[in-house]
Amino acid sequence: MSLLGHRRGQTSLELLLILSIILFGIAVVIPNYLSSSTSTSLISLTRSSADVACGYLDMGVIVRDTNDTYFYLNQLLNPMVKYDVHVGNVRYAEVNDTIYIKVNILSFTSLPNEQTVENGILNFIRAYIVEHSSARIDANNNLIYNGKKVIINVEVRVQ
């Protein structure tokens, strides 16, 4: 075997070794990245929908939507109630194939029925997520996002 043939063989082996290290790295990193990306997009979508709900209630004007996403918030609007609500924080936890999200809403005015406001905002968030993503509501009324069950809890606190 010539010296030139030996070097080509060595270069090919080195190239295969480097390529295998790169492919192994990709195989290890990509699933974690995709999982992280899924949770990040869901948190972002939840927070933005809660912000939309708070802004809508603060504005106090009923919008007739063809998809009727705002139906849940329209039920809360009343000329006797002035809203001043803001998103406090959004917390996320994942256990097995279930994602738990807790949305804290801060109200700077007293509300006639906090439970009704919580349910209205919760139902709006669920409808908003379904409308703006690949999420769906299954036969048991569970929110499913990327094959995982999502449980959202909305808590309204008066400051």
pLDDT tens track for 47-101: 999 999 999 999 988 877 666 788 899 889 888 888 999 999 999 998 988 999 9
CA-nearest of 159, 130, 158 to 150 is: 130
pTM of this structure? 0.77
Phi, psi of 143, rounded to the nearest 5 degrees: -80, 125
Phi, psi of 62, rounded to the nearest 5 degrees: -80, 130
pLDDT at 124: 95
| Chain-centre distance for alpha carbon 75 | 24
| Tens digits of residue pLDDT in 101-158 | 999 999 998 887 889 999 999 999 999 999 988 899 999 999 999 889 999 999 999 9
pLDDT at 2 over 70: no
| Tens digits of residue pLDDT in 11-45 | 777 888 888 888 877 777 776 655 556 778 889 99
